[in-house]
Structure 1
Amino acid sequence: MRGTNPLNFAWVVVLCVFVTRPCFQVKAIDLTIDDPDSIKHAARQLAWDLVSFYTGNNTGDVPGNLPNPYYWWEAGAFFGALVNYWAYTGDATYNEITTQAILHQAGEKHDFMPSNQTRTEGNDDQAFWAFTALQAAENNYPNPPSDHASWLALAQAVFNQQAARWDSAQCGGGLKWQIYPFNSGFTYRNAISNGCFFNMAARLARYTGNNTYAHWAYKTWDWAAAVRLIGPQFQVYDGTSEANNCSDLNHVEWTYNNGVFLLGAAHMWNYTNGDETWRRRIEGLLGAQSIFLSLNESSKNVFYESACETWDTCQTDQFSFKAYLFRWMADTVKLAPFTHDLIMARLRSTAQAAAAQCVGGTTKTYCGMQWTIGRYDGTKGVGQQMSALEAIQTLLVEGVTGPLTEQTGGSSKGDGAAGTWPSDSARDPTALRPITSGDQVGAAILTVGMIALMLGTGWYLCRESSDMSYVRMLI
């Protein structure tokens, strides 16, 4: 320490201890996209900031829950990002809170229908927690204690319950958005709920080798194409309503709807040993991503949420959608190697742009959403941070094995009958806690938010005259 002012040095030490992390990390993200150490360093900082939003491990809070304004489904996705963080970097810092959260929110019947959520839970909400369990199984994330259901069994329980909800009374099949009829959106059949079911079926088919799951994957894709949720150029539209027997479409396209079908198709291509039908579908979905890719020279091939980002109308949920697209694109690279060059080129350009946006908050490493504008957009939150983390950590995909199966080293042991007795259809929702004024206010806020979002993207719906009846119905 010769030549060092002891007083100045003491202040440096105090400051480092105060922020509880190395001093060199408290600055904007510096990312070299071809350097694994640089990627891991960036991911470590982004994960730290992401977890700063979590309160479920505080005394008196509920493990697995995020605070307002985040809905329960996004909490499931949040822990999926942390499973991915562990899989890509090997850093187990957040494994304890992740395992605690998944097992707590699995609920009393090990099916991600906990009593504190079931009344307002939709099929897509339940599926996003199942996705996190599937990620754990596919990546050999440390297994839960033996007195808990396995990661694979948790996902199988959700699949079995949703298969029982398949409804052919109208629209020729499909899943409704909501589980119970007293929830707004019960007659809406959306792409994400059906895409999640397709995704689970394809992944379970590949992991277990059980062709029954593959049958459901074929059936779900065929139904989605028949009602035109999947368009002729592989556009994935938001949803359709039972009001007109699913003949009218909401033509809004979201990044995560493309991604959820892409990963399912990649699993099916792999499961079928390279069936050309699934290859065409993968290539078609990748082609349909053009609507989400910036054409500006300064941000070319950088992803953005085209249905809301340009007009600054994105809401809490939409801030997170890109995270899931990147997560699923990266797994597609491992499952369908013919996609490698195209996907990695898109991920690299997007990750670099995302890192440049991460200059906010007290650490100067919180991230905004609008990665195409060349400057910080002034926002921060779970969705923005999770999207940037997934964009950057997926650059490590070439150094990992990719989704495992029971035949290639997956250690999670399943239960094909999970969730089937007593099934959720046998439950009496009136036996749940009474509806409170808080529930009613929350439902009203969600409904108003849906309407506001639809009006905000009305231009998109009006691109084809067939959309107008759907707009009138929502209003």
Structure 2
Amino acid sequence: MIWKLRAVGAAALLAHSVGAVELVLGNEASVKSAASTIAFGLMKYYTGNNTGDTPGNLPDPYFWWEAGAMFGTMVDYWALTGDTTYNEATTQAILHQASDTRDFMPPNQTRTLGNDDQGFWAMTAMSAAENRYPDPPADEPQWVALAQAAFNQWASRWDEQFCGGGLRWQIFTFNAGFNYKNSISNGCFFNVAARLARFTGNQTYADWAAKIFAWEESVGLITPNYEVYDGVTIKDGNCRETDKIQWSYNAGIFLHGAAVMYNVTDRNPLWKQRVDGMLSTTIKTFYNNSIMIEQFCEEPGFCDIDQQSFKGYLTRWMAGTTQMAPHTFDIIHPLLESSAVQAARACTGSPAEGFNGIPGTACGFKWTTGGFDGLVGVGEQMNALGAVMYTLVNRAVAPVTSDSGGTSLGNPDAGLNLPPMFPEFAPITLGERVAAGFLTTAIAFSVIGGSVFVML
């Protein structure tokens, strides 16, 4: 795989010797060429296919979930451009991280594994199924089955003891944030449930999607004006402490899921109201003169590494919304194009460090400055790739279902009856208890005897 990246890099250097990413909207070849240049720079951050590294992982300081999001972007890159250059690395990464238990809960991520982390990998698998990305070998976990595994595990974690329902942010009690129920974790559950309902035709998934959306409304995380707040904290047995920060990826994940439900329910007026309301609020909140911004932290300049990647997901889900709710296309597509132009203008950097792509094509974070702002990283490069390539959504085939050409196989019981995450030990026998008692007594007497000897 490494030699392929080098070959692509050499060709790209010849084609872009002047530097910068050239983009002509409406010209498919130009859009694909620009996307190819940015994708090369993005994949240069990936080290999982290097000897001795772990497939699917990004190096520090990037967390596991962002790698899942990146490979979801690369699945879409293949679907929109037809470029197979990175398919081998993408497939290897997804399947490796699916783990031996055929879900997205690798033991080496337990210390920080949240429901949203699992969710970004599950949505990548769902995108692979919907785009007819090449299916894995028969003895490997299949795309739809991987999404179903996550769904089943989320359903088993639905917690009605506090807040009347909802997923907690963290899966394990020992991780910080276990007492927090956040929109992105529940948004992953909602989004995957809606898409599974569409792909499989199973009403159970649609029922869960409706239940999750209603729960978000019931606790005030989705307001009557369709603002999406970050989460609620469980404190003193209640859930009245709400974090009202709005992030672009929270808005996007519910917008897209609502659009899928609008499609699933044959244009139900309630889901249309939700789609239209969320789209209107999203545009008001996350656009400045038709250019996408991360409104809470971008202008002040304190977005962290995770937050620097959020705009790319909103772009993805807005593009997907046009496919599921076509009446939104005339509103969304001009916004995709205006952001794409500015994103390409931000891809003119040649930093001394932190970027190994083609000189002059490092992508910055802010798209409102008209140029490169000096920030580089996986998030910045992935945002720009999404901004450019999703302008091709009107030329793309609509996501398939199992009845319209989908080939990925599912397993409704995936993710259930799994071996324990931590080792279980056999019950202690009476004989072992007696032996342990004698040993404890002997140790105690030796300690006392030693103490007396020292005192004397």
> What's the TM-score, normalizing by structure 1?
0.84
Match among 252, 266, 279 for residue 273 of structure 1: 266
The 8 Å contact of residues 129 and 406 in structure 2, kept in 1 or not, is answered as yes
Which residue of the partner structure matches residue 100 of structure 2?
A: 108
Q: Any idea what SS the aligned residue of 1:253 has?
A: coil
Which digits, 9 at most, give the CA deviation of each residue in 1:410-440, with x for residues without a partner? 1101000001112xxx6254679xxxxxxxx
Residue number in structure 1 paired with 2:247? 254
Q: Distance in 2 between matches of 1:320 and 1:291?
A: 20
Change over 3 Å in CA distance of 1:228–1:93 after alignment to 2 = same
| Paired letter, 1:341 | D
Contact kept, 8 Å, 1:240 with 1:249, in 2: the verdict is yes
Equivalent-residue separation in structure 2 for 1:127 and 1:194 (angstroms): 9
Residue 249 of structure 1 and its aligned partner are, at CA, apart by: 1.1
Once residues 369 and 45 of structure 1 are traced to their aligned partners in structure 2, the CA distance between those partners, rounded to angstroms, is 17
Q: Which residue of 1 aligns with 2:311?
A: 322
Q: Which residue of 1 aligns with 2:178?
A: 186
CA contact (8 A) 1:111 1:158 kept: yes
Task: Measure, in 2, the Cα distance between the counterparts of 1:19 and 1:201.
Answer: 43
Shift of 1:359: 0.4
1:217 offset after TM fit, Å? 0.4
Instruction: Provide the C-alpha distance between the structure 2 equivalents of 1:284 and 1:429, rounded to a whole number of angstroms.
Output: 44
SS in 2 for 1:28: coil
Paired AA for residue 388 in structure 1:
A
Aligned equivalent of 2:371: 375
Q: How big is each residue's C-alpha offset from its partner over 1:56-79, in whole Å with a ceiling of 9 and x where there is no partner?
A: 000000000000000000000010
Q: 1:294–1:372: 8 Å Cα contact kept in structure 2? A: no
Q: Which residue pairs with 1:350 in the alignment?
A: 339
Q: Deviations over 1:102-138 (max 9, x none)?
A: 0000011011111111232000000100011000000
Cα distance in 2 for partners of 1:18, 1:218 equals 46
> Aligned ranges for residues 71-470 of structure 1 at < 5 Å?
71-243=63-235, 245-295=238-288, 300-361=289-350, 363-422=359-418, 427-429=420-422
Question: Are the aligned partners of 1:301 and 1:350 in contact in 2 as well (CA < 8 Å)?
Answer: yes
> Contact 2:198–2:264 at 8 Å: present in 1 too?
yes
What CA RMSD, in Å, does the superposition of the two structures yield over aligned residues?
1.6
Aligned residues: 410
Q: Which amino acid aligns with 1:147?
A: D
Question: 1:59 is matched by which residue type in structure 2?
Answer: T
User: C-alpha separation between the residues in 1 aligned to 2:228 and 2:209?
Assistant: 16
| Matched residue, 1:8 | none
In 2, the alpha carbon distance for the partners of 1:34 and 1:280 equals 31
Deviations 1:12-68 (A, max 9, x none): xxxx99945441224101111111111101000000000000000000000000000
Cα separation, partners in 2 of 1:117 and 1:87, compared to 1, 3 Å: same
The residue matched to 2:414 in structure 1 has which SS? coil
Q: Which amino acid aligns with 1:264?
A: G
Q: Is the 8 A contact 1:347 1:395 kept in 2?
A: yes
How many angstroms does 1:206 deviate by? Answer: 0.5
Give 1 or 2 for the bigger CA radius of gyration: 2
Q: 1:60 to 1:247 in 2, by over 3 A?
A: same
**Aligned partner of 1:329: which letter?**
M
2:44 matched residue in structure 1 = 52
1:121–1:179 contact (8 Å) kept in structure 2: yes
Q: Structure 1 CA distance, aligned partners of 2:284 and 2:272? A: 21
Unpaired runs of 5+ residues, structure 2, are 1-6, 351-357, 426-456
What TM-score, normalized to structure 2? 0.88
Structure 1 position 293, deviation (Å) = 3.9
Aligned letter for 1:280?
Q
**How far apart, in 2, do the equivalents of 1:75 and 1:214 lie?**
28
State how far apart, in whole Å, the 2-side matches of 1:28 and 1:428 are: 48
Paired residue for 2:435? none
In structure 1, list runs of 5 or more residues that go unmatched. Answer: 1-15, 433-475
1:291: how far off? 4.2
**Given the superposition, is the C-alpha separation of residues 226 and 60 from structure 1 closer, same or farther in structure 2, using an over 3 Å criterion?**
same
AA at the equivalent of 2:68: G
Contact 2:256-2:317 at 8 Å conserved across structures: yes
2:228 & 2:177 partners in 1: Cα distance? Answer: 19
Q: 1:248 & 1:233 partners in 2: Cα distance? A: 20
Percent sequence identity over matched residues? 51
What's the secondary structure of 1:367's corresponding residue? coil
Counterpart CA distance in 2 for 1:340 and 1:91 is 25
CA distance in 2 between counterparts of 1:294 and 1:83 reads 26
